[in-house]
Chain A
Amino acid sequence: MPEQPMLGQPLWQQIQQGGIGVNPGSTERVQTGDWRTEVPVIDMERCTHCMICWVDCPDASFEVANEKLIAVDLNHCKGCGICAQVCPVKCIEMVPDSAENRETTPSDGAG
């Protein structure tokens, strides 16, 4: 299968026609977190790890390990606030996006 054209600069004759993504996972390489105006801040002491935020996040931005919520993928989180709305213990708060506020969010270090 031809290589995805996202990273290189192939010519028009060389790319998959129809813009069809032949291989899966290309969205991971496109960083869309910079659309955000608000960032979720999670109070990890109150979090019950019910995973409702993980289910409802439209961008699959919650990272989970060993059945625990561990981080927010700020490369893809767009700050929509759905997680804060659905959280049953209200431990997620949406605050204006800034370098300072981002540090209070458990994240994978990016964003």
Chain B
Amino acid sequence: MTIVQNLGQKSESGIQLPAPQAINGGEAVAYAMGQIDPEVVAAYPITPQTFIIEKFSEYVADGTVNSEYINVESEHAAMSACVGATAAGGRSQTATSGPGLALMYEMLWVASGMRLPIVMHLCSRSFSAPLNILCDHSDVMGMRESSWPMLIGASPQEAYDQAVVMPTIAENKSVLLPVANVLDGFTVTHSVERVEVLPDEVVKEFAGEYEPDIWALQPGSTATFGTLDANDFYFEHKRQQVEAMKNSLEVVRTQLNAFGEISGRPMNLVEEYLLDDAEVALVVLGSSEGMVRAAIDQARKDGIKVGMLRIRLFRPFPVQDVRKALEGIGAVGVLDRAIAFGTPGNGLMQDLATSTRTMPDRPLLMDFVYGLGGRATPKQLFRQAIDQVVTMNESRVEPDEPAYLGLK
């Protein structure tokens, strides 16, 4: 697999690293997939996920990996093929975006309901119509209740790092759920950045071998998958999934820490920026964090005590970590990159409101919708959001309606 000839530096943990790559987020994910070398990859091409499967099918064609690549006829079939492959005891992965995820929707629930540890790389994209191929989190919000642990990265480096960690979360015996590695369409998938990769053997050792349970559909197995549950035990099986989702939270924490020790790049369930002395804060998902940081740096120069909280583990929502990070903060601006039409709060706002409602001195919350359909949100707009949150902190009055950043 190693296609990097020149050796780079040694890592803090003493590993001889390959030379850093200049690659985009899609290729970074494909590289991690290649190193993990799952038995089956089934995917259907859709922008902006295309880089991942183009690169991966190149590895397959070149014989760099041993994976079986199934060129399916739709995303519904892609997830179905992964369900079959994983039920048969293999590792399987797929990648998709927005409308592709929508076509997969039925099978998302089948995969999690059958407790199959599939890894999906979701390159976030808006939903049509009107037609739009650019980034927002409509698709992310569309699958948030389907019992998939979801990690959202902010850069090609994080997309790679998370891709290496994902199978170890999914396959943990206390979890056994499919997992999603979310990377923002275009801003991460198509952005060429410096990506430090790990040597093949380090990734292979970290990811380990998938050891399916005794019931895998292999010769001699007497198991049946997809049995009729109806009103007999469906309720109980869903309750089991609640427990598996709960279990996954600490598994994610442990695995991110373990990976951080090897790579020297620590990752947490939530990432904080200048929150220690902050009076107000912005909460964000994904790659917009760079622009939010820039806005915060600027506001700090003007004497505003503002910080940022980025949610990496979006599902299960890390309630305790979020509460701890926001303790002592007077007012919070929640940055939503998707609209939950007709609901009393958009996706992330709902999560923040329910997570903070029992805090003794809960922060006031204000929702900002931004960046729909790939609309660029420059730091001036995030700066406006900061100023509005400061005003709310002074007036102590929470608005009922969200504000729309950069709406014409």
Contact, CB under 8 Å: A15 / B233: yes
In this assembly, does B141 line the interface, its C-beta being within 8 Å of a C-beta of chain A? no
Please provide the chain B residues from 216 to 234 with a CB less than 8 Å away from any CB of chain A in the complex: 222-229, 232-234
Contact, CB under 8 Å: B215 / A19: no
* Bound Cα distance from A26 to B227, whole angstroms: 10
Contacting residue for A20 out of B227, B236, B239, CB 8 A: B227
Contact, CB under 8 Å: A24 / B240: no
Which B residues are CB-close (under 8 A) to A16? Answer: 215
Contact, CB under 8 Å: A12 / B224: no
Contact, CB under 8 Å: A20 / B240: no
Contacting residue for A21 out of B116, B176, B224, B236, CB 8 A: B224
- Summed over the interface, the residue pairs from A and B with CB atoms below 8 Å come to a total of 57
Contact, CB under 8 Å: B114 / A20: yes
Contact, CB under 8 Å: B223 / A12: no
Contact, CB under 8 Å: B115 / A17: yes
Q: Classify chain B's interface size.
A: 20 to 34
* Bound Cα distance from A23 to B229, whole angstroms: 15
Interface centre among A6, A15, A23, A30 (most CB of B within 10 A): A15
| Minimum distance in angstroms from A59 CB to a CB of chain B | 14
Contact, CB under 8 Å: A19 / B237: yes
Whose C-beta in chain B lies nearest to the C-beta of A23?
Answer: B222
In this assembly, does A64 line the interface, its C-beta being within 8 Å of a C-beta of chain B? no
Contact, CB under 8 Å: A20 / B223: yes
* Bound Cα distance from A12 to B240, whole angstroms: 7
In this assembly, does A5 line the interface, its C-beta being within 8 Å of a C-beta of chain B? yes
Contact, CB under 8 Å: B215 / A22: yes
* Bound Cα distance from A1 to B237, whole angstroms: 18
In this assembly, does A11 line the interface, its C-beta being within 8 Å of a C-beta of chain B? yes
| Minimum distance in angstroms from A86 CB to a CB of chain B | 27
| Minimum distance in angstroms from B222 CB to a CB of chain A | 4
Which B residues are CB-close (under 8 A) to A1? Answer: 214
Which A residues are CB-close (under 8 A) to B227? Answer: 19-21, 26
Whose C-beta in chain A lies nearest to the C-beta of B236?
Answer: A12
Contact, CB under 8 Å: A19 / B229: yes
| Minimum distance in angstroms from B108 CB to a CB of chain A | 15
Contact, CB under 8 Å: A15 / B237: yes
Contact, CB under 8 Å: A22 / B240: no
* Bound Cα distance from A25 to B235, whole angstroms: 23
| Minimum distance in angstroms from A32 CB to a CB of chain B | 10
* Bound Cα distance from A26 to B116, whole angstroms: 22
* Bound Cα distance from A14 to B277, whole angstroms: 48
* Bound Cα distance from A13 to B176, whole angstroms: 15
Contact, CB under 8 Å: B223 / A19: no
Which A residues are CB-close (under 8 A) to B237? Answer: 12, 15, 17-19
Whose C-beta in chain A lies nearest to the C-beta of B226?
Answer: A19
Which A residues are CB-close (under 8 A) to B116? Answer: 18
* Bound Cα distance from A54 to B236, whole angstroms: 37
Contacts A1-B214, A17-B240, A20-B115 aside, 11 further interface pairs with beta carbons under 8 A come to A5-B233, A13-B240, A15-B236, A17-B115, A17-B244, A18-B225, A19-B114, A20-B224, A21-B224, A24-B222, A30-B228
Show 28 residue pairs from A and B whose CB-CB distance is below 8 angstroms, ordered by the A residue: A6-B232, A12-B237, A13-B240, A15-B233, A15-B236, A15-B240, A17-B237, A17-B240, A17-B244, A18-B113, A18-B115, A18-B176, A18-B237, A19-B113, A19-B226, A19-B229, A19-B233, A19-B237, A20-B114, A20-B215, A20-B223, A20-B224, A21-B225, A21-B227, A24-B222, A24-B224, A26-B224, A26-B227
Q: Taking beta carbons and an 8 Å cutoff, which residues of A are in contact with B?
A: 1, 5-6, 11-13, 15-24, 26, 30
CB-CB nearest 8 A-B residue pairs:
A21-B224, A12-B236, A18-B115, A12-B239, A24-B222, A18-B114, A21-B227, A19-B229
